[in-house]
């Protein structure tokens, strides 16, 4: 795997799993990452919970702010994540 770039396009995203749970992640290639989750080859959490659906995402230009945002969102409660998803208009 090549080293991760520090600038470019980075996405923080929230997926809704088939069982209704939410998963938050990070990727420089959002479409490819969602496909990987749906193939059962993504994060351990999403394996067996697919198919997953993208319900929220935000693009960042720099790596560090994207990783900080992912960590902040992962720390939210489920209710707070649901509010974030519904407030985005998606």
Whose tokens are 């420089």? That residue is 28
pLDDT of residue 4: 60
**Nearest alpha carbon to residue 56 among 32, 10, 18, 87:** 87
Domains of the chain: 7-82 (3.40.1440.10)
Q: How far is CA 81 from the centre of its chain?
A: 12
pLDDT over 70 (residue 89): no
pLDDT over 90 (residue 3): no
pLDDT of residue 6: 72
Q: How far is CA 53 from the centre of its chain?
A: 10
For 16-53, write each residue's pLDDT tens digit.
999 999 999 999 999 999 999 999 998 999 998 999 99
pLDDT of residue 88: 73
pTM: 0.89
For 52-76, write each residue's pLDDT tens digit.
999 999 999 999 999 999 999 999 9
């Amino acid at each position: 795997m090549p080293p991760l770039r520090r600038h470019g396009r980075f996405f923080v995203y929230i997926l809704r799993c088939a069982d209704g749970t939410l998963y938050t992640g990070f990727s420089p290639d959002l479409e490819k990452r969602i496909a990987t989750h749906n193939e059962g080859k993504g994060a351990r959490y999403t394996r067996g919970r697919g198919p997953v659906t993208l319900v929220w995402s935000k693009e960042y230009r720099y790596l560090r702010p994207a990783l900080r945002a992912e960590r902040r969102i992962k720390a939210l409660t489920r209710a707070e994540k649901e509010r974030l998803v519904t407030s985005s208009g998606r």
